[in-house]
Amino acid sequence: MFGTPINVGSNVEFRIKDIAKKIISKINPKIKIIIDKKRVRPKLSEVYRLKCDNSLILKKTSWKPLFSFDEGLNETIKWIKDNKKLTFPNDYRV
């Protein structure tokens, strides 16, 4: 038998649109968000919202997030910019 699954996350809920706005504000504020209605999750879909419950990992270990969401996003963008020579699909270029 396997152990108990433990969620690792921020315990904070973010909307995809809000994350996209944060990224755009950091890399190119002139970018406009275009919503493709065919790709929007239907209102009655089985999963509408997701949020990590990290209470078990906090209780059982000394783990804690190193960064806030915004700090982690900044670190990720910096890493991508610093590693431009790596090959990324065109959709991921900064």
CB 89 within 8 A of CB 46: no
Q: What is the mean pLDDT of the chain?
A: 84
The whole-number average pLDDT for the span 62-85 is: 89
Taking the mean position of all CA atoms in its chain, how far away is CA 5? 20
Looking at residue 70, its pLDDT comes to 93
Structure tokens at 93: 């270029």
CB count in 10 Å sphere of residue 87:
5
**Tens digits of per-residue pLDDT, 30-62?**
999 988 888 887 777 777 778 888 899 999 999
**Tens digits of per-residue pLDDT, 22-32?**
999 999 999 99
Dihedral (C-alpha) 13, 15, 19, 21: value to the nearest 10 degrees? -140
31-41 burial by CB neighbour count: b if 16+ within 10 A, else e?
eeeeeeeeeee
